[in-house]
Amino acid sequence: MTINFTLNGSAETVTLSDDMTPLLWVIRDILGQKGTKFGCGKAACGACTIHVNGEAVRSCSYPIKFAEGKKVVTIEGLGTLDNPHPVQQAWVEKVVPQCGYCQPGFMMATAALLEKIPNPTDEDIDKNIINICRCGTYYRMRKAIQRAAEIKANELIETSKTS
């Protein structure tokens, strides 16, 4: 089966014999983007969280066939060192990561949260950010999520001023 979709803006075509192959492995092993992590393969830890058409999706549990015609974004497409996404900028400012392995999943989940709820309350954060971090960076994460919302709001103000 051949599937077409975009990964971080670039058009991709992959051919697989098993169309139930999790999108995670297509992204990592066929397309070589390693930022999206394998943690459990059971949609339990959230390390593989990406965006499909703007929605947070755990890619270890998302068959490649459903990606047909869709826009897939991973941590590599969220932002760059020169042009970081507000979530990444906040993560750097608050020095959140320790081992770093779970962090892309958290950042993708947070970016999705801020799209839906630009100014999340603690309760919004508690309910939506349910990935697992073993190093225990949660304390800084909450601060970074709040800071990211602030950066994003300021960017919106800047954009509306210039346009």
Partner 1 sequence: MNSNRIVLFVAIGLLTIMVVANSINSNGDYIPLDSLEISAADNTENFSKLMDVLTHPRCMNCHPNDNIPKQGIDRHPHYFDMARGEDDHGFKATSCNTCHQSENNPYSGVPGAPHWALAPASMGWQGLSHEQIAQRLLDKSTNGGKDHKALVEHLTQDKLVLWAWEPGVDANGNLRETPPISKEEYIQVVEEWFANGAVIPVN
Partner 2 sequence: MGENKKVSRRKFLVRGAVGTAGVLAVGTYLFRNPIRRQILAYANSADSPYMGSGVEPLLWFELTSANKIRLYSPKVEMGQGTFTGMAQLAADELEVPIAMIKVVHAPSITGNIDSFATGGSTSIASLWMPLRELAATMREMILAAAVENLGVPKSDLKIKNGVIKVNGEQITFAELAEKISEWPEVDTPELKKISDYKIIGKSVPRVDLDDKVFGAPIFGMDVDIPNMVYGAVVRPEHIGATFITADVSKAQNMPGVLKIVEEEDFVGVIAKSFIEAENAKHAIKVTWDAPTNLQLADIENKMKVGNGKPTIIQKNGAEISDPEVQMEFTTPIGAHAQIEPNGVVANVTEEGATLYLSTQVVAITQKEVAKRLELDTEKVNIVPTFLGGGFGRRLHTPHAMQAAVMSKAVGKPVKYFFSRKEEFQHDMFRPPTHHVLKANLTDDGNIAHLQHDFSSGDVAIDSALLPSALNSFLGADVGAIRGGFCQYLNIPKIRTTSWHVELPFATSWWRSLGLLANTFAWESFMDVLAEKAGKNPVDFRLAHIQNDKSGERLCNVIKTAAEKAGYQDTVINGKAMGFAASTDAGTPCAQVVELSIVENQIKIHKVTCVLDPGLAVNPDQVRAQCEGAIIMGISASVFEKMTVKDGQLNPTIYGPYQMALLKHAPKEIEVILLQGRETPGPVGEPPLGPIGAAIANAVYRITNKRLTSMPFQEALQNM
Count the neighbouring beta carbons within 10 Å of the beta carbon of residue 118: 11
Binding-site string for partner 1 from residue 20 to residue 59, where x marks contact by CB under 8 A and - marks none: xxx------------------xxxx----x-----xxxx-
Helices assigned H by DSSP within the chain? 23-25, 75-78, 86-93, 103-116, 122-128, 138-162
Cβ closest to partner 2, residue 126 vs residue 158 = 126
User: Whose CA is closest to 36, among 9, 7, 13?
Assistant: 7
| Choice between 117 and 157, CB closer to partner 2 | 117
Stretch that binds partner 1, among 15-23, 28-36, 80-88, 98-106 (CB under 8 A): 15-23
Task: Tell me if 115 contacts partner 1 by CB under 8 A.
Answer: yes
> Which two structure tokens, joined as six digits, stand for 11?
């058009």
Task: Read off the DSSP letter of residue 81.
Answer: S
Q: Which does 154 bind (CB under 5 to 8 A by kind): partner 2, partner 1, none?
A: none
Residues 143, 145, 147, 150, CA torsion sign: negative
Contact residues: partner 1, CB under 8 A: 20-22, 41-44, 49, 55-58, 60-63, 66, 109, 112-113, 115-117, 124, 127-130
